[in-house]
Amino acid sequence: MKIEGRNAVSEAIKSGKTIDRVLVKNGMRDEQSRALVSAIKAAGVKVHFVDKVTIDGESATGKHQGFIAFVTDYRYAEMEDLLSARKGAAPFIVVLDGVEDPHNLGSVIRVCECAGANGLIIGKHRSAAVNETVMRISEGSANHLKIARVGNINAAVDFLKKNGVWVYAVELGGEDIYKTDLTGALALVIGGEDTGVNRLTREKCDKTVTIPMMGKVNSLNASVAAGVAVFEAVRQRR
């Protein structure tokens, strides 16, 4: 897998991810680029300076900013790993049900990492996977967040509930999220771009919570909804 862009490559270096080599475009002499090259070398990673044509040809996104890292395929976590709460805090997990857009997945990963969530659960089916685009959109946050990829989201919900986690679907027709207690062991389920949370998944959840809408459009982009819901939980848990 390739990780592209200065920030994403920098976060990969900081996380200790196994990196085979990094391509750097010739002539990157600004202070940020020089500092990153030094950090790459200090981590013992091979640096190959190449011309613009070569690095453009290797780029999957066209937005490499002069840096492309070649890493081993992304290693997903186990669900059990997500239950190991941060010291002194109850588990806080986000579940994505059918989010197929890599840009939305990358944005949700960034939201979860910035919010200090224990981790993210995604499906193997009807779901985007962690790839080069997701890495770039997440600005490298995927290197610091535990992400579990499961065959069945409903089974994952059952697993969380059996382990004492309250699971709430973020969907229309539920309790006002701003009036709901989001403290304690919690998982928020965010639905896909077009279908929302699957009906069977929603029925398995302990509760449905809703972000109040004041305009004429009654739905939010999946990553925006995740940001609103996740940081309301953060506000309450501080």
Q: Is residue 86 over pLDDT 70? A: no
Q: How confident is the model at residue 200 (pLDDT cuts 50, 70, 90)?
A: very high
pLDDT in tens, 89-104: 799 999 999 999 999 9
Q: Is residue 82 over pLDDT 80? A: yes
Mean pLDDT of 123-127: 87
Asked whether the beta carbons of 129 and 97 are under 8 A apart, the reply is no
Provide the pLDDT for residue 135.
86
Superfamily of domain 79-237: SPOUT methyltransferase, trefoil knot domain (3.40.1280.10)
What pTM was estimated for this model as a whole?
0.78
Domain ranges in the chain?
Answer: 2-71, 79-237
CA 125 to chain centre: 17
Mean pLDDT of 102-127: 94
Say which CATH topology domain 2-71 has. Answer: 60s Ribosomal Protein L30; Chain: A; (3.30.1330)
Listed in order, strand segments (DSSP E) in the chain are: 2-4, 19-25, 46-50, 67-71, 92-97, 119-123, 146-150, 166-176, 186-191, 207-210
